[in-house]
Structure 1
Amino acid sequence: MTASSFAAPLGGVVPMTRRVMNLAHIVTQNARRFGERPGFIWGERSWSWAEIDAQVSALAAGLSARGIGKGDRVLVHSKNCDTMFVSMFATFRLGAVWVPTNFRLLPDEVAYLSTSSGAKAFLCHGDFPEHAAAVAAAQPAPEFTWRIGEGAFGEAEAGEVIARHEGVGVANVAVERDDPCWFFFTSGTTGRSKAAVLTHGQMGFVVTNHLCDLVPGTTEADASLVVAPLSHGAGVHQLMISARGAPSILLSTERFDIDEAYRLIARHRVTNIFTVPTILKMLVEHPAADAHDHSSLRYIIYAGAPMYREDQKAALAKLGKVIVQYFGLGEVTGNITVLPPRLHVAEDGPEARVGSCGYERTGMEVQIQDDEGRQVAAGTQGEICVIGPAVFAGYYDNPEANAKSFRDGWFRTGDLGHMDEQGFVYITGRASDMYISGGSNIYPREIEEKILTHPAIAEVAVLGLPDPVWGEIGVAVCVPRAGKSATEAEVAEFLSAKIARYKMPKRFFFWEALPKSGYGKVPKRLVRDELETRGELEWLRGKTS
């Protein structure tokens, strides 16, 4: 293709390529500048950036020897560990595509992700032989499987591959802005998971934006504690932390041990954590918060779901002004809004921005749009839509989903909300969570916020269920606080003065815990399934009026 094939932009300058930094250059930089500083810590073992860079090259050399090159997909199903961390950069170094999964998925689910992504290689943790077998049986199957850690399957063990290629230098493959680097699977709340295609250019912007908006002032002297799977948001966070040369610190096991988390915070002077509201709530309410020094913390970032106001207040009281909220789907890699520590205040009032998920991220534009894609007035509810460099390239091999998710260049989040005159965004809820009762639209988020102000309720999920008279009716599943209890009548009476009568849930159930996804969220479909399993929908089937 010649220059004449392009329509020249203003000034007659015609860019022939759009080369960008290969994300693996982050490790290259750190090995040069901070070679002896720790980049990854797990238990008593610490890896310097020089060691990490060497392992990245060795694993990349091994993958290359087996035919993995630019554009090939490398499926990784693993618990958090050093090899998983290394595999990300090794894949990037080759210009290949990292395809991590949630290690809590079932074998058939991982097999589907393998075939749908067109994976050519599979790295599987030794604890998951059934997953390895399911992926091998799927068609088309990856060309080879390497095991991570101990076990009895796979053509080789990843650590042994690294050892065999020790000392082999591998250069970072040249990449362009739109070259894919990561298939980020959605959580699949409305069907099969979809692979959101993240690119080198997009992720370079995301790293910069996260450093600017979430953890400003972060340097190699900081440290980050990993409390979530590296396959998703935590992996993006650790990529950003790596870009500053700071170490990532793992818990000793996949189980979330809160006491250990606080011990690690004190020992390593941890300055930042990426988490979700449910885990932050657990950190705040655990006795370990009073037994260990956590004064080093500067940023505790929560995302994935809004945080209830009462939980925000408790976090501020226990941990201080260190919490940061961001709103952002995997498709926008977290880059939609931010509410920084200075705007998290304990006292209700205009400065509190109660219910807001913050303002637009640097370099991003957010609009609230109606069903026809028109921007609505301030304070008017609509769908939250976004444009900017952090928006993904689209879903892999899924034109139907792409057509539904983009309109006139805007990515449609599927979340409902409104924006005030100053640009602060307020999420009402997922469009898919809304239910219609007696012709009125009802948004569970509003009701949940009110229920959580009851002193005996720690968690709640409100959802709509089919009803022969009203179309749908609401039910609330509540989790009492430790040592406290409440009845349906008590909660209903408490709520009656706070919401309109037509929004009142028809039933209140009380469970010891809400079902959660592998990322700490509470999908309404899981709550609905659990209601069915417990037989608590029989009353509804017998209703005649």
Structure 2
Amino acid sequence: MNHDPTGGITPYTTRAMNLANFLSQAARRHVNDPALVWKDRVWTWSEIEARVQAMAYALIREFGIKKGDRILVQSPNCNQMFEALYATFRVGAILVPTNFRQTPDEIVYLAESSGATLMICHAAFAGHAEAARRSSGSLKNVIAIEEADFGPSYDHIVDRNLGRMVEPAIVDRDDPAWFFYTSGTTGHPKAAVLTHGQLTFVINNHNADVFPGVSSADRSLVVAPLSHGAGIHQLCQVARGAATILLPTEKFVVEDVWRLVQEWKVTNLFAVPTIVKMLVEDPSVDTFDHSSLRYVVYAGAPMYREDQKRALTKLGKVLVQYYGLAEVTGAIAVLPPILHSVEDGPDVRIGTCGYERTGMQVQVQDDAGLEMPPGETGEVCVIGPAVFAGYYRNPEANAKSFRDGWFRTGDLGHMDAEGFLYLTGRASDMYISGGSNVYPREIEEKLLQHPGLSEVAILGVPDPVWGEVGIAVCVARDGHRLDGDTLNEWLDGKVARYKLPKRYIIWDALPKSAYGKIAKKLVKAELEARGLLSAEMSTAGA
């Protein structure tokens, strides 16, 4: 006899709350409180809700958007970008936000691969709108943020529909809400499908683990594009009725950040480690009052230990690290403020990205999918409600990324006996020198303890003798002159000799992604462009 663990009960429903309801709830509870601040404008919760309702009505009535349709959004941060998230969710469509710094050809790929039928595009990107309209067979309409020739005005559409309302679309737990495109380390980016049920879990998880206690009294400053991690961060703020503040210009100006922190008594912000580094190293950090900050959240890459110390010294015990990928929407591990320390000591877990997030399970596995013992390096794998539904129309990538139900992150690391996770780097970053595995992050950490070094990226390159060797691309601090002999002397005794980079190249700055992260694929491309990728090239003029 087959045993039925449910006792014959089948799920009555898989229906989920539409994500747009988070905004409607905040608008009911906090009608006239500030919801969004941008430049010299402050919108209340009721005003934002009315604008979202008006756009949602127009999406259905004027543009024929149906549940499951994809809406491409190409825009820097602005109130319309913020509203477009919730209008899209409300009608049951799927948000396809772009990195607004991408080229027209890259946007064409997103439009075609997602099958978007509508594009909301800022007036500054007329070429992107025309390229997408010309090349994508499915794209029927374009709405312009600000006045533009390529489509009707977003604000005019909202103005003529104010007061009109639509019920939020009925959605199931697994209905797609957001195509979150990965950065695409090789080839084209892939669309990770985030669903209404999954994102609801992530929002609750973030509010429990990353910034507990956030309420309508809080103020959140956005210093990164809403199209990616910062957009997820703001969903969490809306769910708690906390106001969102956008930087006044597309250009990142550190002084603007600290001025707004002081003016609005900002309590939390989210950034990648390189942005946090810029914030605490700029002289303006000492000019403005930032004592209101409770959480400075960093993610997207580990923060080097020396940068952690500098930030803690300037800001106090407010740092929160979380680790995750687009495919798990950030919810793999967390290191809260209490576990950040300026001082090194026996109780300080240097280099950890934290412990498992609530409701998530993490294993470090070998190539066969078996769990590695504590301290042994393997691939970080994860299961739990934050894991995405899969890549859109990409069965090959799905087959490669899942094994026995575990999502394979492609990150290498190890766990200690207490369950704290330590990342070694991406599997693609590791290189083999003389038959031994070399993990660049370990060496980068040691190099950055040198007082004259600001940034470093180490890449493995082919070598006729050793198979592969490391090239270290470095940025010196002002007033310091560095060379390979000096830096190898610094590393002497700190890492095994076979791990020492064979060459050092000094640049004024390292190339970074649109989100401010040091991107090794960009460093590699720049090395290739300069003819410096071969380990045997002379360093002269590098």
TM-score (norm 2): 0.97
Equivalent in 362, 365, 371 of residue 361 of structure 2: 365
Matched, 1:272 2:268: yes
Measured against aligned partners, the alpha-carbon deviations of 1:287-340 in whole angstroms (never above 9, x if no partner) come to 111000000000000000000000000011000000000000010000000000
Question: For residue 133 of structure 1, what is the aligned residue in structure 2?
Answer: 130
Equivalent in 498, 505, 509 of residue 502 of structure 1: 498
Question: For residue 100 of structure 2, what is the aligned residue in structure 1?
Answer: 103
Equivalent in 389, 393, 413 of residue 389 of structure 2: 393
CA contact (8 A) 1:42 1:252 kept: yes
CA contact (8 A) 1:302 1:326 kept: yes
Q: CA deviation at 1:8?
A: 6.5
SS in 1 for 2:109: helix
CA contact (8 A) 1:219 1:245 kept: yes
Summarize the alignment of residues 68-467 of structure 1 with structure 2, pairs less than 5 Å apart: 68-154=65-151, 156-467=152-463
Report the more deviating stretch, 468-477 or 75-84.
468-477
Question: For residue 42 of structure 2, what is the aligned residue in structure 1?
Answer: 46
Q: CA deviation at 1:152?
A: 2.3
Residue identity in the other structure for 2:103: L
CA contact (8 A) 1:364 1:389 kept: yes
Q: CA deviation at 1:349?
A: 1.8
SS in 2 for 1:127: helix
CA contact (8 A) 2:461 2:533 kept: no
Runs of 4+ in structure 1 deviating by more than 4 angstroms, as ranges, are none
CA contact (8 A) 2:112 2:138 kept: yes
Gaps of at least 5 residues in structure 1 are: 1-6
Measured against aligned partners, the alpha-carbon deviations of 1:384-415 in whole angstroms (never above 9, x if no partner) come to 00000000000000000000000000000000
Residue identity in the other structure for 2:303: M
Question: For residue 28 of structure 1, what is the aligned residue in structure 2?
Answer: 24
Q: CA deviation at 1:16?
A: 3.5
Cα distance in structure 2, aligned partners of 1:538 and 1:471: 12
Gaps of at least 5 residues in structure 2 are: none
Cα distance in structure 1, aligned partners of 2:452 and 2:86: 47
Cα distance in structure 2, aligned partners of 1:110 and 1:319: 38
Residue identity in the other structure for 1:218: V
CA contact (8 A) 2:111 2:136 kept: no
Residue identity in the other structure for 1:124: C
CA contact (8 A) 2:474 2:506 kept: yes
Residue identity in the other structure for 2:142: T
Cα distance in structure 2, aligned partners of 1:485 and 1:204: 50
CA contact (8 A) 2:317 2:337 kept: yes
TM-score (norm 1): 0.97
CA contact (8 A) 1:346 1:352 kept: no
Residue identity in the other structure for 2:118: A
CA contact (8 A) 2:458 2:471 kept: yes
Distance 1:382 1:145, change over 3 A: same
Distance 1:72 1:445, change over 3 A: same
Measured against aligned partners, the alpha-carbon deviations of 1:96-147 in whole angstroms (never above 9, x if no partner) come to 1011011011110011011000101111111111111110121324111111
Measured against aligned partners, the alpha-carbon deviations of 1:170-193 in whole angstroms (never above 9, x if no partner) come to 111111100110000101112210
Cα distance in structure 2, aligned partners of 1:358 and 1:492: 31
Cα distance in structure 1, aligned partners of 2:236 and 2:439: 35
SS in 2 for 1:351: coil
Residue identity in the other structure for 2:137: P
Cα distance in structure 2, aligned partners of 1:396 and 1:537: 35
